């Protein structure tokens, strides 16, 4: 079993829909990261959080430390949000990555 | 602020050939990471440097992979000889200081390697 599990693996949505991507982990962490990877591009850090909730534009990230679970929400999704979203947990000075959720938003 | 630079962006080689990748981290970042990302998977840490010292190379296939960061700034990752299963994107990332908790890593654009 992977230490970081994401669901769903693939997600399609119509423009404007509310999107949720989930991440569960089984190790002790110092922080959880949500990353975005566009096709052919590098990885961009969206959020780093260790408790509660953070919001940036249309993106919201929440974490429940007791349940070892985090969610990434995208409100009013847009085709430019199409990318792979990766959850990574910081544990003992290294990041452990999930396999990513591939999101496609259609106009 | 300039980001993490990597070159080349793409490389196609035949199996058993050698290849080298270069990374220039963000200025002032003490920690540098090399990751391997196989298609459909999350990145896997190959090696982590703190300045010019190796912190973690436990997942580096040392029979064929080597990496150095001689002056604590730029780094090179080499594969010699390459195998078909080495086809992947090689990502370089840097952060200010691994000893701080909750450190953000900044990623380069990656080098896409195809071994034929």
- Apex B86 CA angle, B85 and B92, nearest 5: 145
Higher pLDDT, B39 or A41: B39
* pLDDT value at B99 more than 70: no
Q: How much is the average pLDDT of A60-80?
A: 96
The answer to whether A22 faces chain B, any CB pair under 8 Å, is no
Which sign does the torsion angle of CA A70, A75, A77, A81 carry? negative
As a whole number, the mean pLDDT across chain B is: 91
pLDDT tens digits, B55-92: 889 999 999 999 999 888 999 999 999 999 999 999 99
The answer to whether B57 faces chain A, any CB pair under 8 Å, is no
Q: Which residues of B touch A43 (CB under 8 A)?
A: 43, 91, 93, 107
Torsion of CA B27, B28, B34, B37, to 10 degrees: -60
Q: How far is it, in rounded angstroms, from Cα B66 to Cα B64?
A: 7
The answer to whether A46 faces chain B, any CB pair under 8 Å, is no
Q: How far is it, in rounded angstroms, from Cα B55 to Cα A91?
A: 14
What pLDDT, on a 0 to 100 scale, did the predictor assign at position B98? 63
What pLDDT, on a 0 to 100 scale, did the predictor assign at position B105? 87
Q: Which of A42, A88, A98 sits opposite B108 (nearest CB)?
A: A42
Q: Which residues pair with B45 in a beta bridge?
A: B35
B91/A88 Cβ within 8 A: no
Q: How far is it, in rounded angstroms, from Cα A7 to Cα A39?
A: 19
pLDDT tens digits, A39-51: 876 888 899 998 9
* B102 touches B70 (CB < 8 A): no
Which runs of E-coded beta strand occur in chain B?
Answer: 5-7, 10-13, 19-24, 31-37, 44-50, 53-56, 65-68, 75-79, 88-95, 106-107, 111-115
The answer to whether A29 faces chain B, any CB pair under 8 Å, is no
């Amino acid at each position: 079993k992977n230490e970081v599990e994401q669901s769903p693996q693939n997600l399609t949505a119509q423009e404007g829909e509310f999107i949720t991507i989930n991440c569960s982990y089984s190790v002790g962490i110092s922080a959880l990261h949500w990353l975005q990877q566009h096709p052919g591009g590098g990885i961009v850090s969206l959020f780093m959080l260790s408790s509660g909730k953070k919001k940036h534009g249309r993106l919201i990230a929440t974490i429940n430390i007791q349940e070892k679970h985090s969610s990434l929400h995208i409100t009013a999704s847009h085709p430019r949000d199409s990318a792979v979203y990766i959850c990574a947990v910081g544990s003992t000075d290294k990041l452990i990555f999930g396999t990513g959720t591939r999101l496609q938003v259609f106009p | 602020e300039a980001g993490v630079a990597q070159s080349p962006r793409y490389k196609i080689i035949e199996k058993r050939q050698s290849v080298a990748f270069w990374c220039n981290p963000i200025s002032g970042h003490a920690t540098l990471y090399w990751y391997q990302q196989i298609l459909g998977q999350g990145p896997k840490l190959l090696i982590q440097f703190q300045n010019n010292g190796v912190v973690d190379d436990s997942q580096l296939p040392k029979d064929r992979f080597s990496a150095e960061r001689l002056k604590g700034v730029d780094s090179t990752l080499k594969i010699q000889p390459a195998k078909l299963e080495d086809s992947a994107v090689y990502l370089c990332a840097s952060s200010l200081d691994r000893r701080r908790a909750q450190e953000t890593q900044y990623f380069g654009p990656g080098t896409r390697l195809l071994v034929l």
